[in-house]
Structure 1
Amino acid sequence: MKKITFLLLLSILSFPLLGSVTAYRGSILHFLEDPAQSRVLDESYQYIEDGLLVVANGKVKYVGEYQDIAHHYPEHWIKDYRGHLIMPGFIDTHIHYPQTEMVAAYGQQLLDWLEQYTFPTERKFADKKYARKISRTFLKQLISNGTTTALVFGTVHPQSVDALFHYAQKLNMRLIAGKVMMDRNAPDYLLDTPESSYEESKQLINKWHKKGRLLYAITPRFAPTSTPEQLRLAGKLKQEFPDTWIHTHLSENLDEIEWVKSLFPDRSSYTDVYHHYGLTSSRSVFAHAVHLEDEEYPLLSSSQSAIAFCPTSNLFLGSGLFNLKKAKDNKIRVGMGTDIGAGTSFSMFQTLNEAYKVTQLQKYPLSAFEGFYQATLGSARALSLENKIGNFTLNKEADFNVIKWAATDYQKFRMQFADELHERLFALMMLGNENNIKATFIAGKKAKLHRW
């Protein structure tokens, strides 16, 4: 241990003394494994009551006890957040930025909700100025809620993706997004064609993928709104650009599933539709998967595809209860998704609050340890980005939050009676909201939203 600390210290002190190194003092929590699948719970996470997180040039260079290393630093290098919790930034694995303005649209289930609210809203994004306006609001909401990485739907309009990436690049965010591909079963004003969706997506990939921290997701909305030819060309794009992502929806609603079966009668299941067209992979994320048939779990697992668990939207639209335990038992990676705007909050605290209720109804109460794992390292693994983000291991990108244990009078009162770590974390998970985010850091720099 002493040798490791010495080598880390040597690495840290080798940086020029020009402000490239900053250290953050506070209580630190991050995860090394899934607490629900670890044989020894204490080995799945690292919690340091008085810790120090050292960041150099946007990367993690040390995390450990304050007293072990603080004496090596000038006092002005250390930012003091004692009394707060420092955690990796939250990662949202499924969200629609164009739906920012329509959160809490009343009273429909999925298919009617799309027709009545979603499609008319997305029509507005043909106007690039409008797309830029909503992009700014959307990204500010992510940062205000401590979300530092997200997998994001645009609209069918290429300019919707241009606008989002433009501002995400200003923030230096690790963001994945893509243009919707949709050539049937939607209003004419939102339809593209198989050829235009292929060409426009390809142009966007060449323009934005791997530009800074930005990444591209090939994004067919869902199987019912794409013809077989469009899905074939989406698969062709994935073959041509294998390091891109696939982002779409799967088995959210029972009527939707029956619709898919009628549109693709030759396929054995909804998942098999995507698999047939080459859209399952280690970088494929399927939102919802609420009503999977038994044979779909092994197919998702063997193809190394991931699921985005979106509890607030599944409850809001009356879609059903996602079986988190069954997905994990089948070795399927699962991330958390707010699914704005069927989802009702940008807050990952509120998303985990609802996830607990969903799992509780299935007699699998979500622990706070598993919940915060799912919102950080678990979601990073679902996005195949665990080598870059998700925890504080050496040389990870330094995206993190400084969190207030209590942000309201009642939270302060409640925390007086929370003695153990899990009880404090669970109270935070159930009662927390954006007011608990004191500061959000992206690649080691505090996000300052007022500048743009």
Structure 2
Amino acid sequence: MNSQTFPPGCQAWRASILHFHDDPAFSERAHAWHEDGLLVVANGRVLAAGDFASLQSALPADAVVHDCRGRLIVPGFIDTHIHYPQTDMIASPAEGLLPWLETYTFPNERKFQDPAHASDVARFFLDELLRNGTTTAMVYCTVHKESVDAFFAESERRNLRMVAGKILMDRNCPDFLRDTAEGGVRDSEELIRRWHNKGRQLYAITPRFAPTSTEAQLRLSGELAAQYPDTFLQTHVAENTDEVAWVKSLFPGSRSYLDVYDSYGMMRPRAMYAHCIWLDDHDRARMRETQSAASICPTSNMFLGSGLFDFARADEAKVPLSLATDVGGGTSFSMLRTMNGVYKVARMGGTYLPALRMFYLATLGGARSMQLEGTIGNFAAGTEADFVLLDPRATPLLARRTERCDSLEELLFALALLGDDRCVAATYSAGARVHQAG
């Protein structure tokens, strides 16, 4: 008999339930699994997640119970690195990162000075995230304030938990995308005051990457991050060898690419560094010491030929890790397809990633890396009720494979290696359904 009681008007979902309270790489009891489970929600927050048999008696008479047996509920996926202005240029051919930027990215981003265009893309982008079960993302806008306003306005309308920021870029870019050191940071502060902590919206100070910011802009970005310590900071680091060499020529006094950011006070909790492929052990130790996080972008790294993320060295250093699509360098909005990619990247580097850890990286791993554990990422009581309903029979092949699964690991592995947007039966944000398949 369960001694707790739930308030009148609550809702509950009956299904198999999986969530995490630790990283499976470092704990043998990192996850909670309820094959016949119940998720109870009220006022946009989780009240409880557990076995149906132990929780059903605590439901009030007027509780609405959604019977979703045969499906799997997991926390909403968290994508820690994605570019919404690159939605329309996904799958654009190029020989590498730098020519890809010049040929496709910069010309496409020019369009986002038009608020109507920015709003149109923001709507489609958020629809696509939700269709793929992603309820939180760390999003790059463009240099234009209009692009940020359009994104946050659409996210706020849907009551999503999103992080985004205006790109800072004052050199080594086309004139039509160039801001100034002072002007870019001034615009960023204005946007922080307008959007940070407005509802569920959060702001990220966003220097694109070290080669496109002068020392003055990086210094001012670090000062802005110190002035607003609860904001986020996001940028790229050590994505490919040509980029690393370019940074060395621009900042000859820095020990490494990451050290450029470190020297301007940009390594701290809530700092997210995308890629982190060509780091050394000193860099990884600094990430652990400062609680700066790495965003692993496997489909992008394979698409652009950037390299393989080194899981063994990152885990040895205890670097905070998360998973990201990196659209439009990445080739899918689906975090399931991204798990497929990260499994293969890890194997090529000599590491075996269990499916449990892939699902951790896409949920609680993202929340921890963003310093948002307790707000999103799992089903601890009081967390925001962002969750996804996955259908393990979404395709004929998946149905045939999953009916032969003998363990949770096998089931999750099949979803990660064979799944995509078709597996997402429904997506919920703060307890409200924001996507329904079909």
**1:69 and 2:55 aligned:** yes
Query: 1:158-198: per-residue Cα shift (whole Å, max 9, x none)?
Result: 11000000000011111000000000000000000001101
Give the distance between the partners of 1:107 and 1:166, measured in 2 at CA: 33
Which range moves more in the overlay, 404-413 or 143-152?
404-413
Q: How many residues align?
A: 436
Aligned to 2:11: 22
Give the distance between the partners of 1:406 and 1:422, measured in 2 at CA: 16
**1:55 and 2:44 aligned:** no
Deviation of the 1:298 alpha carbon: 1.2
Aligned to 2:96: 109
Gaps of 5+ in 1: none
**1:250 and 2:237 aligned:** yes
Deviation of the 1:75 alpha carbon: 6.9
**1:239 and 2:203 aligned:** no
SS in 2 for 1:233: helix
Deviation of the 1:72 alpha carbon: 3.5
**1:34 and 2:34 aligned:** no
Aligned to 1:134: 121
Counting only pairs closer than 5 Å after superposition, residues 103-182 of structure 1 correspond to structure 2 as 103-182=90-169
Aligned to 2:349: 362
Q: Contact 2:130/2:435 (CA < 8 Å) preserved in 1?
A: no
TM-score, length-scaled by structure 2: 0.98
Query: 1:125-160: per-residue Cα shift (whole Å, max 9, x none)?
Result: 010100000000000000000000000000000110
Deviation of the 1:335 alpha carbon: 0.7
SS in 1 for 2:46: strand
Give the distance between the partners of 2:147 and 2:351, measured in 1 at CA: 39
Deviation of the 1:107 alpha carbon: 2.8
Q: Contact 1:400/1:440 (CA < 8 Å) preserved in 2?
A: yes
Give the distance between the partners of 1:386 and 1:163, measured in 2 at CA: 27
2:80 pairs with one of 86, 93, 97: 93
Deviation of the 1:338 alpha carbon: 0.3
Query: 1:341-364: per-residue Cα shift (whole Å, max 9, x none)?
Result: 000000000000000000011221
Q: Contact 1:140/1:449 (CA < 8 Å) preserved in 2?
A: no
Amino acid at match of 1:66: F
User: What is the percentage of aligned positions where both structures have the same residue?
Assistant: 49
Deviation of the 1:424 alpha carbon: 1.0
Give the distance between the partners of 1:357 and 1:307, measured in 2 at CA: 18
Give the distance between the partners of 1:28 and 1:240, measured in 2 at CA: 41
SS in 2 for 1:385: coil
**1:352 and 2:339 aligned:** yes
Aligned to 2:277: 290
Aligned to 2:216: 229
Q: Contact 1:23/1:77 (CA < 8 Å) preserved in 2?
A: yes
Amino acid at match of 2:101: L
2:188 pairs with one of 182, 201, 206: 201
Query: 1:254-274: per-residue Cα shift (whole Å, max 9, x none)?
Result: 010011011011111111100
SS in 2 for 1:106: coil
Give the distance between the partners of 2:226 and 2:69, measured in 1 at CA: 49
Deviation of the 1:449 alpha carbon: 8.2
Give the distance between the partners of 1:163 and 1:358, measured in 2 at CA: 35
Query: 1:91-150: per-residue Cα shift (whole Å, max 9, x none)?
Result: 000000000001100132111110011000000001010000000000000000000000
Counting only pairs closer than 5 Å after superposition, residues 355-434 of structure 1 correspond to structure 2 as 355-434=342-421
Give the distance between the partners of 2:406 and 2:318, measured in 1 at CA: 34
TM-score, length-scaled by structure 1: 0.95
Aligned to 2:302: 315
Give the distance between the partners of 2:31 and 2:66, measured in 1 at CA: 23
Counting only pairs closer than 5 Å after superposition, residues 244-283 of structure 1 correspond to structure 2 as 244-283=231-270
SS in 2 for 1:242: coil
Query: 1:229-256: per-residue Cα shift (whole Å, max 9, x none)?
Result: 0001101111111111110000001010
